[in-house]
Homo-oligomer: A and B are copies of this chain.
Amino acid sequence: MVKRYNCTSVQVKSFMPSAFILSQGDEVVTGQTVDTNAAWLGDRLTQLGIDVLGHVSVRDVEQEISDAMVEATQRADFVICTGGLGPTDDDMTAHAAAQAFECPLALDEVALEHIRNLYARHGRVMPEVNQKQAWLPMGARRIDNDWGTAPGFALDVNDCLLVCVAGVPREMKVLWTERVLALLDERFHLRPGRLVTLRTTGIGESNLQERIGRFDHPEAVISYRTMSPENQIKLRFVPSASDELVRELSLELAETIGSPVFSIEGLDGELGGSLIEVIGRTLADKGQTLATAESCTGGRVAAECTSVAGSSAWFLEGAVTYSNAAKSRQLGVDPTLIASNGAVSTEVAYAMARGIREASGATYGIATTGIAGPGGGSADKPVGTVHIALATPSDDVHRQLRLGGDRRRIQNLASAAALDLLRRHLTL
């Protein structure tokens, strides 16, 4: 269904509709804003089994937006255009569509009432300038926006469905879910196959591929997605795949990968979630608590823990003991231990983890000490040397890491590794 486009060099499955993503705005093309909408939409469309041909961003110039619309609608079965629906002069999506497809703008009374009501709800009168937003291309279907002033619209042109919605990411995402999906389904009768995501950490993509080996199944394909330090495996099934198959194959794959899998999403009975959500949930369920003692990660482990709503139920406290004096005073680390082994050592990591566990009364204490760089390294202990330790009621665990990259990367990877040490202990 890829149209007017010479694609002889690729296999295009005939059941996949194609899509093009359009965005506009001087702030996007001049790099003042990174266009995250395009990636978000690209991911969602791909998940629906729609073939994304590309995306294009143009300036706030009516003719250029209009040209881009014509080209995109000639190429794809579906075009989604975000932004340019606001009340100001540089918002010209509706005008551009009117020009591109020769459908003059007309005042949509329902849209106008909708905008007026939105203002009234906040006790304000609609400014005159906002009336512009209620002028939609004739023949377009209005897309009501309950989350902002900009109504969107859908047009059938060039044998293509063109949907224009607000570009503010928060609004765009809810409009996608609440409005656009239904339009897509109506048009393309989507029957997307099930998607199961295995989330892993502590293993690189190539090791992961090696562990999985050649994956060849008539009813499923896998793909990898790296978001260091997390690696995801996406298992996409054909629409006809049975629930049993989805379940069996997903769990079998998770077992093949083993302990790096920290959560499974898209499978009944599995809660999914990020590494810290899994840790928080497990601790809360068990009525256990955590305290952290950080040197080289400088507060990142604590910040990650407290990023989760409700973390006060299981996160007691953290110590960021950057100086040796603080390690001794806050955590009770013996100064002679630091003097004889150095602050970056197995011994000090253990002493820090045990120290914060005892001082706080938490079930678990985790600690990090290392050299994040760029300075401070030596032949013995180069930049990237990190010790992490976990103190538990039964036994203590230590791991030494040799990390590459810049300061930020080393701090982030060390942070994730420390949390993963706890996760693996909790789910043993």
A306 touches which of B7, B67, B310, B320 (Cβ 8 Å): B320
A373 touches which of B8, B42, B307, B309 (Cβ 8 Å): B309
Say whether B5 contacts A64, CB under 8 Å.
yes
Say whether B309 contacts A298, CB under 8 Å.
no
Say whether A322 contacts B330, CB under 8 Å.
no
Say whether A63 contacts B305, CB under 8 Å.
no
With a CB–CB cut-off of 8 A, which chain B residues contact A54?
29, 56-59, 64, 68
A31 touches which of B41, B53, B317 (Cβ 8 Å): B41
Say whether A300 contacts B303, CB under 8 Å.
yes
Question: Given the interface contacts A29-B55, A55-B57, A317-B319, does A39 sit within 8 Å of B34 by beta carbon?
Answer: yes
Q: Give min CB distance, A370 to chain B, whole Å.
A: 12
For A361, give the chain B residue with the smallest CB separation: B325
Q: Give min CB distance, A92 to chain B, whole Å.
A: 9
Distance A58 CA – B299 CA, assembled complex (angstroms) = 41
A171 contacts the other chain (CB 8 A) = no
Give 7 CB contacts A-B under 8 Å: A8-B63, A30-B52, A31-B46, A54-B57, A303-B411, A309-B375, A319-B319
With a CB–CB cut-off of 8 A, which chain B residues contact A120?
none
For A68, give the chain B residue with the smallest CB separation: B54
With a CB–CB cut-off of 8 A, which chain B residues contact A63?
5-9
A407 touches which of B8, B309, B329 (Cβ 8 Å): B309
With a CB–CB cut-off of 8 A, which chain B residues contact A203?
none
A298 touches which of B303, B310, B373, B374 (Cβ 8 Å): B303
A207 contacts the other chain (CB 8 A) = no
Q: Give min CB distance, A24 to chain B, whole Å.
A: 8
Question: Given the interface contacts A307-B407, A322-B316, does A29 sit within 8 Å of B56 by beta carbon?
Answer: no
Q: Give min CB distance, A357 to chain B, whole Å.
A: 13
Distance A5 CA – B316 CA, assembled complex (angstroms) = 62
A249 contacts the other chain (CB 8 A) = no
Size range of the chain A interface in the assembly: 35 or more
Additional A-B contact list (9), CB under 8 Å, known A32-B39, A299-B303, A319-B320? A9-B63, A21-B29, A29-B54, A30-B52, A56-B57, A298-B302, A298-B303, A311-B322, A317-B323
With a CB–CB cut-off of 8 A, which chain B residues contact A64?
5, 7, 53-54
Q: Give min CB distance, A74 to chain B, whole Å.
A: 12
With a CB–CB cut-off of 8 A, which chain B residues contact A339?
none
With a CB–CB cut-off of 8 A, which chain B residues contact A30?
42-43, 45-46, 52
Say whether B298 contacts A307, CB under 8 Å.
yes
Say whether A330 contacts B307, CB under 8 Å.
no
A318 contacts the other chain (CB 8 A) = yes
For A376, give the chain B residue with the smallest CB separation: B312
The 8 A CB mask of A1-34 against B (1 = contact, 0 = none) is: 0000111111000000000010000001111111
Beta-carbon contacts under 8 Å, A352-369 to B: 359-361
Question: Given the interface contacts A55-B29, A225-B32, does A320 sit within 8 Å of B322 by beta carbon?
Answer: no
Q: Give min CB distance, A265 to chain B, whole Å.
A: 16
Q: Give min CB distance, A141 to chain B, whole Å.
A: 26
Question: Given the interface contacts A42-B29, A359-B329, does A320 sit within 8 Å of B320 by beta carbon?
Answer: yes
